[in-house]
A and B are shown apart, each in its own frame.
Chain A
Amino acid sequence: MIYTTKQTKESILKKTIKILSVAAFWIFMWEAVSRLAILLNPNMQLLLPGPFLVLKKWWEIAFTFEFLKAELLTLARVFFGFFASVFIGALLGFLTHISKLAYSLISPILKIIRSVPVVAIIVLLYIFVKSNIMPTLIVGLMVVPIIWQTVNDGLDNIDVKLLEFAKVYQLSYIKTLLRIKIPSILPIFISSCSNALGLAWKSGIAAEVLCKTNNSLGVLISDSKTSWDYDVTYAVTLNVVLLSIIIEFLLKFIVNKYLIKNGGAVND
């Protein structure tokens, strides 16, 4: 099907209106529930502030030095953990693909890590690990098994016919890896990274909250709750959600650019 520029613009406009309508509906619901709660119990203004109050608070704190420092350090912890994990996970996936012994040794550990709840891991590791390292470590423990599984399974399931072609035409191992194996798994690998980044972000913040990591968005959430500044709690959470949406949008943009370039299906 061929789309004209006009059709594309109309479709983007429709999509934007739809997203804004849904957002407006939920903001309205939030305001309504908050007002109702305050009407029933005036103390609820403290516990359930309305969206405009939260937005006002966010505007007040979002550009302060302390907040920006916490935000940047949280991003640094999560992204460092994420990229290191992608590298380690891919390496392990490649290793378990080429060695059955490595698969037997590594796969049970990674499968166990993946099935243990993140909170349990944080509580267990908190005894041994410093709080400023913990978020990065938790991100690693969440992301490595996902990337490992994707790379291992992807390499195991490459089209046999293409591998036979490589064998018959005596392509070197490196050439087969670079020209056939890696391009075959790249779309699913990128898609898996996109999902893993969402998880990394959530688990990193959770680790910061539970471990009270200094200079972090997580500790801002945790401290504001302790001091009953619930409007700050909501404002920081709102900031986390906004960052998450921006990161997801940027990642999808990059992924779709790659997929369009390489003839794959575009993610919506």
Chain B
Amino acid sequence: MIELKNISFSYGEQQILNNFNLNVNEGECVQLYGTSGSGKTTVLRIILGLENVIIGNVIVPQKISTVFQEDRLLENKDVLSNVRLVIPNEKYPIADALIKEFGLWDDRKKRVSQLSGGMKRKVAIIRAIVYDGDALILDEPFNGLDSDNKKIIAQVIKREFLNKSKPVLLITHIKEDAQLLNAKVIEICGNC
């Protein structure tokens, strides 16, 4: 599970989070919804240990699959190399199957820099799924994707995480995204 208790965080003088609490149970999907600058990505960074929390408790699994707001892919490497980077050799067939399922098999040897924004997003999502973490965190995962692709991705996330009793945290500024994963919506509004 993912649990944040009474988290307060500030960048310098600016308070971003004030006594913030979040609980995502096993097999549950929570959508963290809020406008730009409300502190959504800061929550992600705190969960991932990328920010030093000043006050509060963080309880998270050791291994977390993450889709960052930016794709964070190796632009000069091909799709296969990017996906395989985070997994051992024996998991390559699983990665190949997912690449096929996401419709990227024909582009598997293309450099990431040659892909469209939507395709890059899919590669980042495949990488997170095949990593097989004990929880999944998605920061604006559906940017640049059409509704059909969103549905395919949501189905895979349900199969690979929610149905296996792993918690999923969806961070987005689009409220409708929650429906795709039957998520419980929690609104974040910074330090209010």
Contact = CB atoms under 8 A, between A and B. Distances in A.
Contact of B76 (A161, A169, A171, A183): A183
A168 B74 contact: no
B74 A183 contact: yes
Interface in A158-215: 161-162, 164-165, 167-171, 175, 179-180, 183
B91 to A, nearest CB: 13
Interface residues of B: mostly helix, strand, loop or mixed? loop
Given A180-B74, A183-B74, A183-B76, A167 B50 contact: yes
Interface residues of A, number: 16
B85 A164 contact: no
B111 A263 contact: yes
A51 B77 CA distance: 51
A262 interface: yes
B50 A168 contact: yes
A161 B48 CA distance: 13
B77 to A, nearest CB: 8
Contacts of A183: 74, 76-77
A75 to B, nearest CB: 33
Contacts of A264: 76
Contacts of B70: 161
Contacts of A164: 48, 50, 68, 72
A171 B66 CA distance: 14
Contact of A168 (B66, B77, B111): B66
A171 B131 CA distance: 11
11 contacts: A162-B72, A164-B48, A164-B68, A165-B68, A165-B72, A167-B49, A168-B64, A180-B74, A183-B76, A183-B77, A263-B76
Interface of B: 48-50, 63-64, 66, 68, 70, 72, 74-77, 85-86, 111, 113, 131
